[in-house]
């Protein structure tokens, strides 16, 4: 409950009350259920929580203790009886939380000023990487996917958005709302909005926005002939500044479907910007949230950048949302693919056939300037703290350049399937790019040697040599490797790395 919409006691401002039902499969017999949580409180006594084997029966398992570990950000429900292996159970949890006014993660509040000087408040979310546990106790790791059925009770005259398409609330849901929250809320001042079930998805993709925003929309036909609604939202006085976002979103989503040959699975895509947002944007499935300056545009000069950001987040609807890494050490798959494909499917690319290559080459230069230092980050390294910087922009650009190199070597048609196989088999143990030294031995031999870059030995410049792609890869951990290929045609020049397809620096020598 954010201020400004409903009269409420001051102590209830920026707070929320909720109930969650979690259905889970027991993989190993246990008497404890451990869930991630942070900044949540549980007001009921342990005995008032129950674990059901079947909600339609009287079979239940009482909770005898509830242990909160704030340091480890988890809560443990200790049970009276053992949960049996390979059986499904459901736990129902009532809890309270805070709509943060000073953190831009989890469920938090932000505000804007109307033209008349009034302050209007917004409740919004940012769950990546571990913010979901600040709104709901859950299994808050990307490997755990679930179907989310969301119901939001919010003030009259506000809009409530979530991942799923809004649907008609059933009478039993309204009765349940009245029974659960009548001691907390003046129910007549609130409404309930219900949503269709989400696909199976990770907790970091759950999203909620409650505001007084308005929208405009359009539709597109999916590959499986469904009509999908694309909506863009903003403050009422800024709605005309969403025209570009709507146009760019439609262009990108149609291009992505055509490219991946996998229909977008949800019935809608909402895109909304908020005044305070820690990231540039967040790809929540079906409800993408943007920073205002990366979304709103009225006669703006950075329209190409905005179209790229929108294309990036829409690419995540496949890479990241549909297919998700098991743990954050492989987030480079999410971000690298999104960076790579944004340059191909954005509205800016549609208006300029050379835009994609220029975009990726610029990324390559930026990446190399950062990636050559000894403290550079591996593509897939150990992640012990999920809150560390998982999506460093410089390394996203490096990831996109790596994927571009594979595409050119293997060919566009084979790129996606072969790249997945390659990445699964050969995790990079360290970041960086090779220095490939080319030596002409004689009229029939060119010698290529490869070694890791060193920021103290080489400085990048604006001058580049071009090369051919050799389908030979360093498949071990050697820092230095030599390759020698016989060359029989002494009438044709050997061009190394044409159009800078390879993510490496060339050093050319002659003997």
- 335 labeled part of a ligand binding site: yes
DSSP string of 82-149?
EEPTT-EEEEEEEEEEE-BSS-SSEEEEEEEE-TTS-EEEEEEEE-TTTTGGGTS-B--STT-EE---
Q: Which of 263, 144, 115, 249 is nearest to 205 (CA)?
A: 144
Other Cβ atoms within 10 Å of 458 Cβ, number: 13
Residue carrying the six token digits 């743990």: 327
| Residues labelled catalytic | 313
Q: Which of 99, 302, 285, 329 is nearest to 195 (CA)?
A: 285
Query: Which tokens in the block code for residue 458?
Result: 């080489």
Residue carrying the six token digits 């999920």: 386
Query: Which tokens in the block code for residue 479?
Result: 């820092």
Alpha-carbon span 217 to 472, nearest angstrom: 49
What is the three-class DSSP state of 247? helix
Residue carrying the six token digits 């290929």: 485
Q: How far is CA 431 from the centre of its chain?
A: 22
Collect all residues with Cβ–Cβ distance below 8 Å to 173 and sequence separation of at least 6: 151, 192, 194
- CA–CA distances in Å: residue 218 to residues 213, 243, 438: 17, 11, 54
Q: Is the dihedral of CA 420, 310, 391, 137 positive or negative?
A: negative
- 312 labeled part of a ligand binding site: yes
What is the three-class DSSP state of 25? strand
CB-based contacts of 329-332 (< 8 A; 24+ apart in sequence): 329/380, 329/381, 329/382, 329/383, 330/380, 331/383, 331/390, 331/391, 332/379, 332/380, 332/395, 332/396, 332/399
- 316 labeled part of a ligand binding site: yes
Binding residues for Zn(2+), as ranges, are 312, 316, 335
């Amino acid at each position: 409950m954010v201020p400004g919409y409903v009269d409420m006691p001051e102590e209830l401002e920026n707070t929320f009350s909720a109930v969650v039902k979690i259905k889970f499969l027991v993989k190993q017999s246990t008497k404890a259920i451990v869930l991630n949580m942070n900044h949540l409180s549980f007001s009921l006594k342990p005995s008032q929580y129950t674990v059901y084997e079947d909600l339609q029966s009287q079979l239940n398992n009482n909770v005898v203790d509830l242990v909160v570990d704030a340091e480890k950000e988890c809560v443990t429900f200790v049970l009276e009886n053992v949960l049996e292996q390979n059986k499904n159970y459901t736990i129902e949890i009532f809890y309270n939380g805070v709509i943060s006014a000073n953190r831009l993660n989890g469920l938090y509040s932000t505000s804007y000023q109307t033209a008349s000087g009034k302050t209007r408040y917004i409740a919004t979310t940012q769950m990546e990487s571990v913010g979901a546990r600040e709104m709901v106790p859950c299994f808050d790791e990307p490997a755990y996917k679930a179907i989310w059925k969301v119901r939001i009770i919010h003030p009259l005259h506000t809009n409530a958005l979530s991942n799923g398409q809004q649907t008609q609330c059933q009478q039993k849901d309204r009765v349940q709302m009245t029974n659960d929250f009548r001691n907390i809320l003046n129910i007549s001042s609130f409404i309930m909005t219900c949503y269709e079930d989400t696909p199976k998805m990770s907790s970091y993709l759950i999203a909620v926005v409650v505001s007084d925003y308005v929208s405009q929309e359009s539709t597109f036909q999916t590959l499986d002939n469904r009509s999908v609604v694309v909506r863009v939202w903003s403050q009422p006085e800024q709605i005309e500044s969403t025209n570009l976002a709507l146009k760019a979103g439609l262009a990108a989503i149609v291009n992505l479907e055509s490219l991946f040959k996998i229909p977008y699975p949800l019935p809608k895509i909402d895109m909304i910007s908020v005044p305070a947002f820690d990231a540039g944007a967040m790809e929540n499935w079906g409800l993408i949230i943007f920073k205002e300056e990366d979304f709103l545009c009225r006669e703006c000069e950075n329209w190409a950048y905005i179209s790229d950001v929108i294309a990036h987040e829409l690419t995540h609807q496949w890479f990241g949302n549909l297919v998700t890494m098991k743990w954050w050490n492989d987030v480079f798959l999410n971000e690298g693919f999104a960076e790579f494909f944004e340059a191909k499917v954005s509205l800016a690319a549609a208006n300029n056939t050379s835009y994609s290559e220029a975009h990726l080459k610029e990324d390559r230069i930026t990446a190399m300037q950062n990636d050559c230092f000894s403290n550079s980050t591996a593509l897939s390294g150990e992640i012990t703290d999920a809150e560390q910087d998982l999506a460093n922009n410089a390394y996203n650009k490096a990831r996109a350049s790596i994927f571009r190199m594979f595409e050119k070597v293997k060919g566009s048609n084979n790129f996606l399937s072969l790249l997945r196989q390659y990445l699964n088999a050969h995790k990079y143990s360290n970041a960086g790019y090779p220095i490939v030294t080319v030596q002409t031995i004689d009229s029939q031999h060119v010698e290529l040697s490869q070694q890791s870059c060193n920021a103290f030995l080489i400085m990048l410049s604006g001058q580049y040599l071009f090369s051919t792609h050799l389908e030979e890869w360093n498949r071990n951990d050697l820092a230095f490797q030599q390759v020698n290929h016989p060359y029989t045609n002494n009438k044709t020049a050997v061009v190394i790395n044409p159009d800078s397809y390879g993510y490496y620096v060339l050093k050319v020598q002659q003997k």
